[in-house]
Structure 1
Amino acid sequence: MEALLSQFTFLSDQALHDKNFDPAKIEDLMKLFELEVYKSWAAMELEHENAIEEAKNSMREAEDYLNSIMDSAMDDFRRFEEELESRSKAELQSLVKVAETAKKMGNSMEKAATIASKKYMEAAVHSATVSMKSARKGLSLNPSKYRSCSKSSYPSKMVLWVFGYGSLIWKAGFRHDDRLVGSTDHRGTPEYPGRTVTLEPLDGEVCWGVAYKVSEEEDEQIALAGLTMPREHEDDVDPMYLEVREKQYDVKAYVDFFTEPTAITPAVSGVMVYIASPDRKLNRNYLGPASLEEMAKQIIHAEGPSGPNRDYLFHLENALLQLGCEDKHIKDLANAVRRILSERKLTASRPSEQ
């Protein structure tokens, strides 16, 4: 381009001084000039297009990089969301299970509370001032034979409260030890030990039973004296003595007693209860856990001075039902005993009204 400009300057001077100058030379130069200008413009256009393409490529790379970052971030977010959702679902399912369990427990406790409080629980706080004759023959679960004691009506003097479970629920006056698991003297023999219920401490668990109030000092002494009497005279004088009846390595404890499942404040505090030790070194009659079938067969064979072990089981099942407390384990065990007795064509002993 600079060479063309120099040649154009030279021809212009020549045209001014030479009268014979041919104008065609300038025209030819102008064509060359136009061609060079076009080439320069084309080169600039190409360079511009290349710059644009490079810019586009840079933009695409930037977009791809940004997209990859966004995709990675979204993947991380989705994983976090899935983990959070999984944890939330697990927590929600756990809460649902807790709610369902609480609802079932509430329904069960409400049912038990409704039946028991109306029929037996409040009325079960029994005064031992009834004749010892009636106590010996067994306390009926008829509510009319109980005296309901509200908290405000408790006497101000010291009284003895005794919590009874197992056979004490239906027969508070029965002198024999048929509460301890594996008792060998009343519901079984050393050869065929019977199974009766025992109470062991366990946090969070509830034991349903009956609280008896003994307000007279003489009655307390009789209940705790530990005297014995020959069986031929047991219908004449009542030998219902807790220290004899609950003698098999029991420990006396004093606990709170509630008449309502949802109550926070106990109806009575300091209720005496006997707790047996599961330590076989201390409690020779403790048989320990066993399968339902094994316990049923053992109960069928066991029989002692107080009668067949199966009678104890059927009485306990019936007494709990009358209290409004259906115990699944007791029910299943009783049904297993009945089934085995039926298979052996034996007549199962049924609980009679005491």
Structure 2
Amino acid sequence: MIERRTFLTGIAAVGAASLIGCSSDGEPATPSKTSPTPSATTAEASVNPKVASTIATGLNVPWGIAFLASGAAYVSQRDAGSIVRIDPDGQVTDLGQVQGVDSATSEGGLMGIALDPDDESVLYAYMSTSSDDRLVRLSVNGDKISRPEPLFTGVRSAANHHGGRLLFDDSGHLFLAIGDGAVPEDAQDRNGPNGTILRLDKEGRAARGNPFENEVWSYGHRNIEGLAFDADGRLWASEFGQDTRDELNLIVKGKNYGWPRFEGKSDDPDFVSPKVTWSTEEASPAGLAITRSTAFMAALRGERLWMIPLDGESAGKPKALFTGKYGRIRDVVVAPDESLWVTTSNTDSRGQPASDDDRILRITL
């Protein structure tokens, strides 16, 4: 059995000058891809999102989606603490509950999931237990999942601000967004996991090349529930604000994103400002997907899908889609056929569920 891991602190020799970033210039988290990125104007003109079908209904707070090469997907159900497999034709197969998940908190439970890029029988998940939040690894054998194997444990849990999104890059590094655990000042501690994005290897250890010789990739975050790479390997994140501004951020290695000193735009060059902001009534952003030089951001309180054209490191004017039509929207993921799968989140005690909620919608572009 793997022993409980504690967070690796940065070495004392890291100077104060490297504590905070002074630029919002992007640095790809993965090697740059060779395919050109269309301009934001061209991308916006070529994208025409439409709801083509409903993939599945009757789900329990579908939080994360991980696609298989076949076009089927594993979906985490937050409050049920379970994983289901959904085939492209909509057939839903229950793979069972993840042992140890505690969904007693208002926003915790079984959250983000990600497939091992080299082995589709291995699934990573971020979950709440009765004592902490943790990263675990599961094996999928047919229609059953194994007991979770703890990899990164001891993350402070709270009623909210868990973060929980997982994302692999092309080099096999796992990015994990962790919320501030309702203690805002902890987001400024780059030697602790709360309020950060971590970059890990497949065993849950700090990846080589991290900026502070521990697991932290960036810090100063309040609550990130969306991570996505663009075509050139730049990492973007959607982040909940508190009272005024939600954010879309371009994530850069080692940089400080300002929370709790700043919510939204910063007037201090030592902190990275977001590329786009929204009022908290318009957004409360969760999942994030990028395709065709366009970011798609799910909005919970805003009950819409935001479409944001991207041009390199810049973001254009957002456009709201499907406002109020499907209720709270939790996640958006690019499917193997280049459509989007979008999950509702109306059974999470904060929405008004319809008879077929929660649902997964298929959106063509």
TM-score, length-scaled by structure 1: 0.22
Normalized per residue, which structure has more strand? 2
Normalized per residue, which structure has more helix? 1
TM-score, length-scaled by structure 2: 0.22
Structure with greater Cα Rg: 1
